[in-house]
């Protein structure tokens, strides 16, 4: 029987039923969800009807509110048992064109869907009621009884009223649910933001990639349950990838760090290709080509995984894979959070890898510097050859003064080893770890000397395009070695003296005083005392420098050192030139020991270098001719200056006019190129191609 829809009036209702409905309203009022509304309604209706089954659904999928159902029936003992709702009944209520559908007699249910099913279940009468608001359908109610005609007895108006009045509860519950969901999503959002913020803080606190990875994982584990985290980084533009870090405490060892592979068709490749978080079930993992199923599912027992691509500067730099032995460990909200975390992690890891690269380069550079330093030490430092009493005396003085920090003045002819001793003093001093800065006063044009020593500010003079620190500043906390100090321009001497006394100076063009703490070692082959007399060197500076003078004797005064030096230099150059020289003929050694060596050790060193070049076999072959003719003897009446001049001209003649280089005049004279050039300038000898002598 299907009655025509009509709107009943309250007055048509039986007053007792009306009162009952009002009681029902009071009972249903506090219900906030289907699970409480269902049983409450059942109880209310049972008081008035021979009710044996009730099913209730609510939902408005168009509004984003999913359907939910509740159903129960009372057994023979009258107790309520929850049951599964019938599959088709929601559709049946939805499709009702009328206010309700009543199956009065089970016999009358005919062969149609719902009626048949209910009849088969032993029900003799039933009613389907759609729950509607003025705008839409929000649910449905099904009542069934084992008694025939049960609903006819209560009257159709009552049923229509019941449906109307339940509709408002249905709507309320739906709205509450909507509100709960909104709240839940707000909470979720807030929690996500909190997690992301925590990650950001972690990211800022770590610079090393591994530290960063571990911190991120520790942080995420507090919020998300997973078994393992694997960071895979892309190499060669993503053609290859490498497992870089793993945080998988319970790992069975199937995934290992520093293993490279082609991302191919596996989860990593999928995430890299899609550029968004990808969630994989156990079945998904099993469907990947080998070795994914063997490693991940069979090996590690994983049941779900979320692979997040790490994108920085629009480049997929790797994939962070979260793995779980649980099914469904990464629902959409979690995957979404991991994706958002991944965006931050990508940038931080990118920076961390860049930092790592810079560190590696820096270490390499430091290594190289160390190497260079060692090289320098080898050349200069600590190999001081000779056993002569006079050299021993020098070394004792060096050892005595080194730790004191006192200013040292090294005196001696050119090439005697003044710089070598200066380095030895620095090396034995507490400043050994700091820099040893040298400046050759003869080698720098007078006009540039001030800026070289004291530095300059930008714009201090034409061409000073940027500020520059001077040698004094560079030597801060270390040692400054002023070589050829006799050549220091007279006008600069007061400024240097002031800097040494006050430990303070200004850069050229600067006003800011700069503090400096350095140890000074000066060296000269000139007679400074005579220069003071001649007023070409300031007396006050001389006294400041002459605190601890050490005189290094010329080689001719310690000939017993010559054989040792010859052997040492032969070995050094033979090794450098890969020559197997292991014998020095006695005749050669005698000639070398007899020679006067006006250029001292440097001259001997250069001579041996040339000899090693000239030696074809295992024996050192020396150019005797260079030693044979007497050196320009000092003839009567000839000044030292004349002798020096003719020696330089002779050396220039022999070198074809070349000053520098292994066969140049400086090398032949045992002088530094710069020293020879300054001497030539003083003696009025011009540089250039060979000119006739005499
Ligand atoms: N006793 C020594 N043992 C080994 N090598 C030495 C010794 N003395 C000097 N030399 C070497 O001789 C060369 C010249 O030494 P150094 O430059 O120290 O002399 P110098 O007196 O400072 O020269 P100049 O006056 O021209 O500046 C260097 O290569 C140095 O290593």
Please indicate, yes or no, whether residues 546 and 568 belong to a single structural domain of this protein. no
Q: Which residues line the pocket of ligand 1, CB cutoff 6 A?
A: 380, 383-386, 412, 414-420, 483, 523, 525, 601-602, 605, 671-672, 675
Counting from 1 in the atom list of ligand 1, the atom nearest the Cα of 440 is 27
What's the pLDDT score for residue 493? 95
What's the pLDDT score for residue 369? 56
Please indicate, yes or no, whether residues 590 and 541 belong to a single structural domain of this protein. no
Ligand 1 mean position, distance from CA 206 (Å): 51
Ligand 1 mean position, distance from CA 543 (Å): 25
CATH number, domain containing residue 300: 3.30.450.40
Ligand 1 mean position, distance from CA 385 (Å): 10
Question: Residue 82 corresponds to which tokens in the numbers above?
Answer: 């929850």
> Nearest 5°: phi and psi at 658?
-80, 135
Please indicate, yes or no, whether residues 569 and 584 belong to a single structural domain of this protein. yes
pLDDT tens figures, 94-114: 777 666 666 655 444 444 567
What's the pLDDT score for residue 693? 34
What's the pLDDT score for residue 4? 47
Please indicate, yes or no, whether residues 35 and 79 belong to a single structural domain of this protein. yes
The boundaries of the domain holding residue 347 are 206-357
Q: Is the confidence at residue 331, as pLDDT, over 50?
A: yes
Please indicate, yes or no, whether residues 398 and 413 belong to a single structural domain of this protein. yes
Report which of residues 196 and 526 the model is more confident about.
526
Where a domain ends, among 553, 579, 604? 553
Specify the residue with its C-alpha closest to ligand 1, atom 28: 602
Mean pLDDT of all residues belonging to the chain: 84
Please indicate, yes or no, whether residues 68 and 174 belong to a single structural domain of this protein. yes
Provide, for the chain, the percentages of residues in helix, strand and coil under a 3-state DSSP scheme, each rounded to the nearest 5.
50, 15, 35
Specify the residue with its C-alpha closest to ligand 1, atom 9: 417
Q: Half-sphere exposure (CA, 13 Å, Cβ side) for 694?
A: 2
What's the pLDDT score for residue 377? 52
| ipTM for the assembly | 0.98
- Beta-carbon contacts of 13 under 8 Å, excluding residues fewer than 6 positions away, are 21, 155, 157, 158, 161
Ligand 1 mean position, distance from CA 482 (Å): 15
Ligand 1 mean position, distance from CA 600 (Å): 8
Question: Residue 124 corresponds to which tokens in the numbers above?
Answer: 């003799």
Cα 614–Cα 572–Cα 394 angle in degrees, nearest 5:
120
Please indicate, yes or no, whether residues 162 and 34 belong to a single structural domain of this protein. yes
Where a domain ends, among 553, 586, 602? 553
Q: Alpha-carbon torsion 679, 683, 688, 689, what sign?
A: negative
Residue 199 lies in a domain: no
- Between strands 278-281 and 259-261, the pairing is unpaired
Least confident range from 250-254, 299-303, 545-549, 604-608: namely 250-254
Beta strands in 29-169 (DSSP E): 53-60, 65-74, 80-82, 101-103, 125-132, 137-145
Counting from 1 in the atom list of ligand 1, the atom nearest the Cα of 386 is 1
Please indicate, yes or no, whether residues 232 and 274 belong to a single structural domain of this protein. yes
Please indicate, yes or no, whether residues 598 and 534 belong to a single structural domain of this protein. no
The gap between the terminal CA atoms of the chain, to the nearest Å, is: 146
CATH number, domain containing residue 479: 3.40.50.300
Structural domains counted in the chain: 4
Q: Is the confidence at residue 75, as pLDDT, over 90?
A: no
pLDDT tens figures, 11-39: 677 788 778 878 888 888 888 888 888 99
Please indicate, yes or no, whether residues 521 and 567 belong to a single structural domain of this protein. no
């Amino acid at each position: 029987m299907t009655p025509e829809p009509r709107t009943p009036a309250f007055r048509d209702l039986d007053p007792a039923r009306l009162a009952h409905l009002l009681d029902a309203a009071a009972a249903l009022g506090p219900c906030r969800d289907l699970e409480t509304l269902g049983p409450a309604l059942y109880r209310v209706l049972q008081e008035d009807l021979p009710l044996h089954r009730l099913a209730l659904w609510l939902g408005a999928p168009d509004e984003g509110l999913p359907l939910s159902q509740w159903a129960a029936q009372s057994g023979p003992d009258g107790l309520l048992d929850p049951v599964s709702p019938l599959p088709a009944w929601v559709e049946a209520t939805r499709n009702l064109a009328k206010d309700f559908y009543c199956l009065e007699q089970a016999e009358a249910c005919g062969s149609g869907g719902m009626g048949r099913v209910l009849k088969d279940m032993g029900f003799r009468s039933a009613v389907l009621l759609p729950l509607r608001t003025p705008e839409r359908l929000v649910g449905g109610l099904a009542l069934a009884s084992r008694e025939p005609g049960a609903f006819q007895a209560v009257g159709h108006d009552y049923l229509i009223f019941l449906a109307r009045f339940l509709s408002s509860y249905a709507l309320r519950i739906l709205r509450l649910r909507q509100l709960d969901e909104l709240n839940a999503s707000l909470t979720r959002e807030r929690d996500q933001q909190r997690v992301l913020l925590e990650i950001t803080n972690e990211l800022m606190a770590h610079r090393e990639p591994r530290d960063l990875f571990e911190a991120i994982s520790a942080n995420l584990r507090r919020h998300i349950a997973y078994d393992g985290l694997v960071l895979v980084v892309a190499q060669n533009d993503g053609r290859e990838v490498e497992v870089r870090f793993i945080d998988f405490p319970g790992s069975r060892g199937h995934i290992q760090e520093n293993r490279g592979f082609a991302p191919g068709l596996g989860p990593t490749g999928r995430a890299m290709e899609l550029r968004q978080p990808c969630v994989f079930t156990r079945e998904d993992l099993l469907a990947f080509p080998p070795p994914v199923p063997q490693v991940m599912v069979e090996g590690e027992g994983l049941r779900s995984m979320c692979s997040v691509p790490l994108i920085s500067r629009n480049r997929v730099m790797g994939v962070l894979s979260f793995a779980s032995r649980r099914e469904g460990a990464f629902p959409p909200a979690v995957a979404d959070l991991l994706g958002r975390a991944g965006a931050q992690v990508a940038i931080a890891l990118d920076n961390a890898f860049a930092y790592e690269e810079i560190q590696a380069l820096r270490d390499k550079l430091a290594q190289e510097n160390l190497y260079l330093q060692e090289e320098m030490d080898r050349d200069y430092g600590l190999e001081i050859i000779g056993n002569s009493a006079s050299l021993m005396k020098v070394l004792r003085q060096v050892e005595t003064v080194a730790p004191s920090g006192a200013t040292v003045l090294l005196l001696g002819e050119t090439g005697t080893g003044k710089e070598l001793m200066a380095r030895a003093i620095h090396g034995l001093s507490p400043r050994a770890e700091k820099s040893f800065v040298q400046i050759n006063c003869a080698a720098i044009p007078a006009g540039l000397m001030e800026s070289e020593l004291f530095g300059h500010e930008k714009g201090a003079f034409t061409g000073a395009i940027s500020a520059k620190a001077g040698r004094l500043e560079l030597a801060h906390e270390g040692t400054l070695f002023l070589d050829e100090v006799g050549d220091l321009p007279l006008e600069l001497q007061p400024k240097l003296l002031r800097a040494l006394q006050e430990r303070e100076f200004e850069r050229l063009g600067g006003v800011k005083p700069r503090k400096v703490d350095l140890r000074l070692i000066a060296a000269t082959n000139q007679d400074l005392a005579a220069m003071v007399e001649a007023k070409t060197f300031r007396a006050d500076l001389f006294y400041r420098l002459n605190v601890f003078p050490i005189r290094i004797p010329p080689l001719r005064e310690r000939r017993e050192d010559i054989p040792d030096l010859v052997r040492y230099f032969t070995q050094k150059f033979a090794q450098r030139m890969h020559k197997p020289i292991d014998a020095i003929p006695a005749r050669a050694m005698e000639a070398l020991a007899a020679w006067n060596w006006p250029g001292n050790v440097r001259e001997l060193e250069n001579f041996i270098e040339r000899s090693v070049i000239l030696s074809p076999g295992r024996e050192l072959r020396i150019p005797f001719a260079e030693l044979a003719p007497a050196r320009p003897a000092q003839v009567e009446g000839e000044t030292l200056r004349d002798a020096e001049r003719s020696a330089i001209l002779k050396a220039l003649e022999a070198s074809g006019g070349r000053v520098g280089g292994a066969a140049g005049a400086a090398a032949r004279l045992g002088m530094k190129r710069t020293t020879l050039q300054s001497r030539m300038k003083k003696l009025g000898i011009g540089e250039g191609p060979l000119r006739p002598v005499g």
